[in-house]
């Protein structure tokens, strides 16, 4: 009886270990990034690609949306947003440092919220 209970417990532990959530290797995200021009587009996309695990990054000037595909085993959306903020662009929930923003070219300085 003890062996049977022990066996059931081991089986439960084995299956619960497999039930953990797997990270998506091709997770798609879209979020707002402030900017104005082609220089901004290059800077934003370069910052996104600087994060290991970013597979695709395409920022659209017209709607200020970054379309992103990442490997969640290597990075998170927050990692990408932090990298973009470091180069002077605000995202929907992470703001760039004021000094970095002020150092952007005049045409790249967007209206901050």
State residue 19's pLDDT score.
47
Which tokens hold the place of 74? 């290597």
pTM: 0.80
Instruction: Let me know: does 84 contact 69? Beta carbons within 8 Å.
Output: no
What is the per-residue pLDDT for 33? 98
Task: List, run by run, the mean pLDDT of 10-residue segments along the chain (113 residues).
Answer: 62 57 90 97 98 98 97 97 98 96 95 87
> Looking at residue 16, what is its pLDDT?
57
Nearest-angstrom CA–CA distance, 41 and 28: 19
Please report the domains of the chain, with CATH numbers, ordered by start residue: 22-108 (3.30.70.100)
């Amino acid at each position: 009886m003890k062996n049977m209970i022990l066996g059931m417990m081991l089986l439960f532990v084995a299956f619960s270990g497999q039930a953990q959530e797997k990270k998506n290797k091709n997770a798609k995200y879209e979020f707002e990034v402030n900017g104005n021009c082609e220089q901004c587009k290059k800077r934003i996309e370069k910052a996104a690609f600087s994060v290991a695990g970013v597979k695709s990054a395409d920022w659209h000037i017209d709607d200020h949306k970054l379309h992103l595909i990442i490997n969640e085993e290597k990075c998170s959306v927050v990692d990408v947003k932090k990298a973009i903020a470091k180069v002077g662009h605000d995202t929907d929930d992470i703001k760039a440092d004021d000094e970095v923003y002020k150092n952007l070219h005049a045409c790249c300085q967007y209206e901050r919220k």
